[in-house]
Structure 1
Amino acid sequence: MLAWWRTIRLSIKELMLHPLRSSLTVLGIFIGVSSVIWLLAIGEGIGRKAEEQIVDLGARNIILNTVKPSGDQAGEGLYGVTREDFRRLKNTLEGHLERTVPIRALSKEFGRGPRTMEGRLVGTTAGFLEVMRMDVEEGGRFFAPIDSIEERPYCVLGPEARNELVPYGDPIGATVRIGDEFYEVIGVMKQKKSHSSDEKIKTDDYSKDIYIPIETFWRRIGDVIITTGSGLFKRDIVEVSQIVLEVQEQDQVLEMAQVVQDTLAAEHTMPDYTMTVPFELLEQARTTRLLFIVFLGMIAAISLVVGGIGIMNIMLATVTERTREIGIRRALGAKRHDITRQFLIESIVLSTIGGLLGIAAGLTCPLLASPVRRTLFYLFPSQMAALPEEIRNVEPMLVTWSIPLSLAIAVAVGVLFGVYPAMKAAQLDPIEALRHE
């Protein structure tokens, strides 16, 4: 043990004799280790953001959305999922569903006194909060089942709708005009806003929504959508904009999704609805995240290999410079394994110092992410604006296992690329080494 400690001290002293060369050698490992931690943290941040958006839709949900057929299949009349579809699915999947929520949404003008705004009127049921992962601010409430049954003229405001229509005072009990009718405010929703560049998981900005019981919507607003314009008059009928089915067991989601698909296929001959299964998207996102992290890790590992080549290059040059020193040590009784150990430890010291400095730099990733992002937006505004939002606003998340892994790889690189120079030094003939000038 004493021999190893003496060798380490001797190696450090030797490296300090050439500070610039040693620093440049350490720099290669430093860049490699910090790159591993930074790239994996960025990859983890992007992947987690995508997963959060999918989970926000509900991993046990099956979501059906009404879409208007395009091209030759488009026309006037009823299209999309219907109330009959809702009843049929509810009966077919009875025993497998936690809750079923129909949603009817329509653009409307809202008003209160002189204040007006454009927003979205959403008719739904009491289960909406659970399936959409939303909540109501304290002091208010969402609809109870009895509100829908009795078709009460109640409404719940989205955050921005509240700020536009009831900016001052307590909104609970206030009266809001929707179209030509009036509704009593019973609650205000908490803020929820989530966007994604992926259309499959894209969610809405709910802040301008106003919610009413769906039975009230069907009776007061109806199903007919009339579009008028210059020489244009169209009459469409939409009964349900969206149906959310929450399955009891997560491992049954894909099976139930197939049942839903088969049930609707018999009634819908046109492509007038889409089905989104967040659980399926979540599995795909997790697989993609893993592949993304592996890919970024491989890119960063290349930097470590380059750093290792730099170590080998410097150590080979060192062996040539110190040939006479090696001959003297051998003449004084040093064995080959002593020479091997000395040069190998020098290589390991270089890689370990670079690894530790790289880890310190890697840990700054979450702190420096925002300044770096602002700098990039300042220097390359158009290029940054063109990137997907998940990348533009990525919040790096340190991958804990990347820290010991990168240090272990750095030390392994030092050993791997230091073995050959060390062995070459040990194999020098003592007589020839003493003659070297």
Structure 2
Amino acid sequence: MGKFTQTLKLGFKSLMVQKLRSALAALGIFIGTTTVIWLVAMGEGVSYDAQQQILQLGAKNIIVRTIEPRSSEDADERVKTYGVTRADYRRILSNVPTIETSVPIRELRREFMVKGRRMDAKLIGCTPEHLELNRLEIARGRWINERDDRENVVVLADGTARRLFPQEDPIGQKVRVESDVYRVIGQTKPREASAAVGGSLDAREYSSDAYIPLKTFQHRVGDQIMTRTGEGFNFKGEIVELTQITLSVRDIQDVDVTASIVKHLLESYHEQEDFAVVVPKELLRQAERTRTMFNVLLVVIAGISLLVGGIGIMNIMLATVTERTREIGIRRALGARRIDIIQQFLTETLVLTGSGGLLGVLCGLLCGPIFRSLRSIVATVSPDILPEIVYTLEPRIALWSVLLSLFISLGVGLIFGVYPARRAAYMSPIEALRHE
């Protein structure tokens, strides 16, 4: 132990002779180590946000969505019929015993009017279970219930209520939607929007919604929607019964089997591809795989930075060996063994890489505060220069990245220090003493 301490002290003393050169050599390792931790932290932050969005959909849920099929070039349909139907909904419930709860919805973009104020909002026909499924909370008033079937009542989302009733309580007020008038019975609390999940689910904005009973939607709005195309009396329409059905199973183990049964059942009654079955659990697995691949890529990129730093260390140590040739010859003449010379130069190399690695870890652990400070500065100078995701991104330090970067930095020092150390140790003592 005493010998190791003496070698360590000698290594520090030798490095301090050339402070600037030693600092620049350690800088490459410092940058590489910090880069590993920072890149992985950013990747983990992005991955965490994506996984949270998927988890909000429910790991035990199966989402059946209506999608508009691709029209053939020869098609000239004035009214197109497609999507999930109420018959599909009843068929699924009667044939799939593993389903515990089910929530159908129909949604449509409509213009809302109150005392001269107008806004476009999403009118959603839903059932009472929709509140809990989407983690919505009531701010005032109440949610729709079974007794509201076919009644002209509406629950406004927070953003919709603020736009239509900026200075007054909306509860009990009347809202005109096209030719129908609805009475406001409730208002939901603000809820963050959900981002798009790959190509499977679109982004979901909850601030500009309005909720009415599903049967009221069917009775007042209907399934057939006509829209004007161009000038004159040219209209094009579509018949869609349900926009989405969310199914929840009793056990997460039943998700894949249930989704397969539902998809097969729908394919038996649909001649065109006008629906999609989305399984959040599968999306979560895909997100995990993507995250792993992304982290491997980031570590490889950052590892290259450490490799470059290691080459710099090797170059510095080779120069050091040349400069200290006479010192090596004197030590060998005084009885120092080759292993002693190797230990000395390896110790110096490890001190360089170890110090650079430790400083890099410290800087890496400050990733969050530094990132937030830089984001605030850039946002103050030019708010539009940063993508929207940057404002919500929070770096998440991964312990494995800290340990890995430190391990790699020491490994780089060991690998790139062996050749200079061996070159010094196997130098001829006589030739070394002659060196000027």
Q: Structures share a fold, TM > 0.5?
A: yes
| 1:142-167 residue CA offsets vs partner (Å, 9 max, x unmatched) | 2233434xx33332111110101222
Q: Secondary structure at the match of 2:111?
A: strand
Amino acid at match of 1:130: E
Choose 209-218 or 134-143, whichever is displaced more. Answer: 134-143
Asked if the contact 2:196–2:204 (Cα under 8 Å) also holds between the matched residues in 1, the reply is: no
Correspondence list, 1:39-118, <5 A: 39-72=39-72, 75=77, 76-94=79-97, 96-118=98-120
Asked if the contact 1:194–1:205 (Cα under 8 Å) also holds between the matched residues in 2, the reply is: yes
Shift of 1:383: 8.9
Asked if the contact 1:97–1:245 (Cα under 8 Å) also holds between the matched residues in 2, the reply is: yes
Asked if the contact 1:61–1:277 (Cα under 8 Å) also holds between the matched residues in 2, the reply is: yes
| 1:324-382 residue CA offsets vs partner (Å, 9 max, x unmatched) | 11121222232222222111110010001100111122122222324555778899999
Shift of 1:77: 4.8
Distance in 2 of aligned mates of 1:434 and 1:265: 88
Aligned residues: 430
Q: Secondary structure at the match of 2:167?
A: coil
1:172 is matched with: 171
| 1:166-198 residue CA offsets vs partner (Å, 9 max, x unmatched) | 223433333333332222322324323123373
1:396 is matched with: 395
Report whether the alignment pairs 1:192 with 2:163: no
Distance in 1 of aligned mates of 2:404 and 2:248: 41
Distance in 2 of aligned mates of 1:37 and 1:182: 55
Asked if the contact 1:61–1:131 (Cα under 8 Å) also holds between the matched residues in 2, the reply is: no
Amino acid at match of 2:304: I
Distance in 1 of aligned mates of 2:381 and 2:118: 41
Shift of 1:219: 1.9
Choose 25-34 or 304-313, whichever is displaced more. Answer: 304-313
Shift of 1:40: 0.9
| 1:272-331 residue CA offsets vs partner (Å, 9 max, x unmatched) | 222222222221111011011011101111111111121111111111111111121222
Distance in 2 of aligned mates of 1:434 and 1:238: 93
Distance in 1 of aligned mates of 2:319 and 2:130: 71
Report whether the alignment pairs 1:324 with 2:326: yes
Shift of 1:405: 1.8
Distance in 1 of aligned mates of 2:76 and 2:304: 54
Distance in 2 of aligned mates of 1:212 and 1:65: 19
Distance in 2 of aligned mates of 1:374 and 1:189: 28
Distance in 2 of aligned mates of 1:235 and 1:26: 69
Sequence identity (%): 45
2:268 is matched with: 266
Distance in 1 of aligned mates of 2:311 and 2:80: 71
Gaps of 5+ in 2: none
Shift of 1:268: 0.8
Q: Compared with structure 1, are the counterparts of its residues 288 and 380 closer, same or farther at alpha carbon in structure 2 (3 Å cutoff)?
A: farther
Shift of 1:27: 0.9
Q: Compared with structure 1, are the counterparts of its residues 248 and 197 closer, same or farther at alpha carbon in structure 2 (3 Å cutoff)?
A: closer
Distance in 1 of aligned mates of 2:86 and 2:201: 25
Distance in 2 of aligned mates of 1:69 and 1:326: 80
Distance in 1 of aligned mates of 2:328 and 2:262: 79
Distance in 2 of aligned mates of 1:373 and 1:184: 41
Correspondence list, 1:130-279, <5 A: 130-132=132-134, 134-148=135-149, 151-179=150-178, 180-196=180-196, 198-229=198-229, 230=231, 231-279=233-281
Distance in 1 of aligned mates of 2:55 and 2:401: 25
Distance in 2 of aligned mates of 1:46 and 1:215: 40
- Counterpart among 299, 302, 316 of residue 300 in structure 1: 302
Distance in 2 of aligned mates of 1:306 and 1:101: 57
| 1:233-266 residue CA offsets vs partner (Å, 9 max, x unmatched) | 2343221111111222222222111111111111
Shift of 1:35: 0.9
Shift of 1:81: 0.8
1:414 is matched with: 413
Distance in 2 of aligned mates of 1:290 and 1:407: 20
Asked if the contact 1:46–1:391 (Cα under 8 Å) also holds between the matched residues in 2, the reply is: no
Asked if the contact 1:196–1:390 (Cα under 8 Å) also holds between the matched residues in 2, the reply is: no
Amino acid at match of 2:32: G
Gaps of 5+ in 1: none
Distance in 1 of aligned mates of 2:162 and 2:351: 62
Asked if the contact 2:156–2:184 (Cα under 8 Å) also holds between the matched residues in 1, the reply is: no
Shift of 1:33: 0.4
Q: Compared with structure 1, are the counterparts of its residues 25 and 74 closer, same or farther at alpha carbon in structure 2 (3 Å cutoff)?
A: farther
Across the aligned residues of Structure 1 and Structure 2, the Cα RMSD in angstroms comes to 2.5
**TM-score, length basis structure 1:** 0.91
